[in-house]
Copies of this chain bind each other. A is one copy, B any other.
């Protein structure tokens, strides 16, 4: 056998998802791309803002053929300074450039944080439904991933956290706005969780950290600001990326921001920078840093995502499918009346592709991405109606 025991297990466990995707590809080949309504991929499909092109044009105008060389592992100074200003504004407290590390997207960012803080066998908790990659990220660094059930409406349940936190718990990953649910955790619920953590920290040598995974912070459908965890808790890492708000997912650019009042700040920064180097990222891609620095205050047209979300929710309501209206992000996560895999199979008969909720830790739900145009979403209504007739 060519691969390690663990990687072999990963491949086998994900074989059902793969079969599903392969079936989707088969259908698209058979019926044509336009006939198959694909709601599976959370691929930010909006155009990058015009400032991205401008950044490239400017680079060419003043082109320096030595610009592509090595840089400090923490990233370019101009990028770190621009991100520090943005983070300070968004989080409501002053985060200096020295507390910012440029990373290969939020995925790279979460990995370097876990590498830095996790001792072998320590637990990392995250609310369920969850972004499934967290399991891998935690296991990459010899940690133990522990999903924590949220309430029926996907809001945080502090009691469930309390039951699972023990002296071996090192971190909690919070993803808000959430993939797959679109939930935004309220300030009150975070405050409750933080009180719990402060209590637990008293008995421990090392604190429990919060890793706030925020790539959807600016893909938000209501006027209120996504609550800042940094304002409430000093043991916080904010991790984010520009994949969604600038539609730069393929360029792998994000950051880690470390709370300015965290204990042992210098060693933590040293650890993060070392981890960025030794995990093989070395540094976040240079051109991506240059582009983002130029576009730091730009954004894709979020109102387009909002319109799609509104239409999708209207259709779900009309056909009688329960859902919690997303406050942000790229997904709707409705409750379906039968087993989620069966429901997705029925959808597929109608040439509609969706992901069963069990892939995110909650059965009887499905995930629908709003990364398709309005006319595609319009077409969903008749098809959903037919499926719902079958299951009633």
Q: A: which residues have CB within 8 A of B?
A: 1-8, 10-11, 14, 41, 43-45, 47-50, 52-53, 56-57, 59-60, 63, 65-71, 104-105, 107-112, 115-119, 133, 136-137, 140, 142, 205-206, 243, 246-252, 262-265, 267-268, 270-271, 274-275, 277-288
Q: Report the minimal beta-carbon distance from A221 to chain B, rounded to whole angstroms.
A: 21
A339 to B7, CA, bound (A): 45
Query: B11 touching A274 by the CB < 8 A rule?
Result: yes
* Interface contact A111-B280, CB-CB below 8 Å: yes
Expressed in whole angstroms, the minimum distance between the Cβ of A303 and any Cβ of chain B is 17
Compute how far the CA of A349 lies from the CA of B70 in the bound complex, rounded to whole angstroms.
27
B10/A250 in contact, CB under 8 A: no
Say how far A15's CB is from chain B's closest CB, in angstroms: 10
Q: Which residues of B contact A268 (CB under 8 A)?
A: 2-3
- Cα distance, A118 to B4, chains bound together (Å): 5
Asked if A142 contacts B140 (CB within 8 A), the reply is no
Interface residue from B1, B48, B108 paired with A66 (Cβ < 8 Å): B48
Contact A53 B43 (CB under 8 A): no
- Which residue of B has the minimal Cβ distance to A49? B65
- Return A115 CB to nearest CB of chain B, in Å: 7
Please name the 6 residue pairs, one residue from A and one from B, whose CB atoms are nearest each other, closest first: A2-B264, A250-B286, A136-B278, A47-B65, A111-B280, A107-B280
CA distance A36 to B166 in the complex (A): 53
- Answer whether A280 and B278 are a contact pair too, CB < 8 Å, given A104-B104, A288-B285: no
How many copies of this chain?
A: 2
Q: Which residues of B have CB within 8 Å of A280? A: 104-105, 107-112, 137, 140, 279, 281
A3 to B277, CA, bound (A): 16
CB <8 Å contact, A56 and B60:
yes
Residue of B nearest to A289 (CB): B250
Check B56 against A116 for contact (C-beta < 8 Å): no
Residues of B contacting A69 in the complex (Cβ-Cβ under 8 angstroms): 43-45, 247, 249-250
Which residues of B are found within 8 Å of A136, using beta-carbon distances?
Answer: 278
Cβ–Cβ < 8 Å partners of A205 in chain B: 1
> Distance (Å) between the CB of A79 and the closest chain B CB?
12
Q: Which residue of B lies closest to A253 (CB)?
A: B285
Contact B281 A4 (CB under 8 A): no
Question: Whole-angstrom distance between the alpha carbons of A349 and B263 in the complex?
Answer: 38
Q: Which residues of B contact A278 (CB under 8 A)?
A: 10, 133, 136-137, 140
Q: With A137-B278, A281-B108, A286-B251 given, is the CB distance from A47 to B60 under 8 Å?
A: no
Q: Closest CB-CB distance, A202 to chain B, in whole Å?
A: 17
B70 & A249 in contact (Cβ 8 Å cutoff): yes
Known: A52-B68, A53-B60. A252 touches B267 (CB 8 A): no
Having A2-B263, A140-B278, A252-B281, one finds 9 other A-B pairs with CB under 8 Å, namely A2-B116, A4-B115, A8-B271, A11-B270, A53-B63, A53-B65, A56-B63, A68-B249, A104-B252
Tell me the complex Cα distance, A252–B253, Å: 12
Q: Tell whether A111 pairs with B65 under 8 Å between CB atoms, given A57-B60, A60-B57, A288-B287.
A: no
Note all chain B residues with C-beta closer than 8 A to A275: 7
Distance in angstroms from A16 CB to nearest chain B CB is 14
Q: Is the CB of B140 within 8 A of A107?
A: no
Bound: A247/B67 CA distance, A:
9
Contact A2 B279 (CB under 8 A): no
**Residues of chain B with a CB closer than 8 A to A265's CB:** 2
